[in-house]
Copies of this chain bind each other. A is one copy, B any other.
């Protein structure tokens, strides 16, 4: 792809948050690495302009939240998995490191309840204040 075409492809690729995580997890250091590792339930507060896009989601659904990991570093291409230097240096695309060129988080969660524009979901390892950029159903 030419440089010109590459720049054209990136035009418009600016994420607009559709909601935000409200969680008891306040800092990155105290968050589990995956939802399945003891993470709590949390709220997704969907912004009013996007709320009608929730129609059809019901309690009990399994959904995938896509978040923007706003505290992550974008200049990291290789890591020692789980921050353990005895693990060999590995490309971030082969890991779930939050530090990566586009720090998107994928979180499969269950919908516990729906209250207006808010979804109660869990288990979720994302910290309070994390922007949510998309919600998708899990394909059966």
Contact = CB atoms under 8 A, between A and B. Distances in A.
A104 B133 contact: yes
Interface of A: 1, 5-6, 9-10, 12-18, 20, 34, 45, 47, 50, 52-57, 61, 63-64, 66, 68, 70, 74, 77-78, 88-96, 100-102, 104, 106, 129, 131, 133-137, 139
Contact of A6 (B17, B56, B106): B17
Taken together, the copies of this chain in the complex come to: 2
A55 B91 contact: yes
Contacts of A63: 93
B137 A50 contact: no
A16 B78 CA distance: 17
B94 A16 contact: no
Given A10-B17, A70-B9, A139-B96, A102 B54 contact: no
B17 A92 contact: no
A131 B92 contact: no
Nearest to A77: B53
Report which residue of A45, A56, A68, A93 has the largest number of chain B beta carbons within 10 angstroms of its beta carbon. Answer: A93
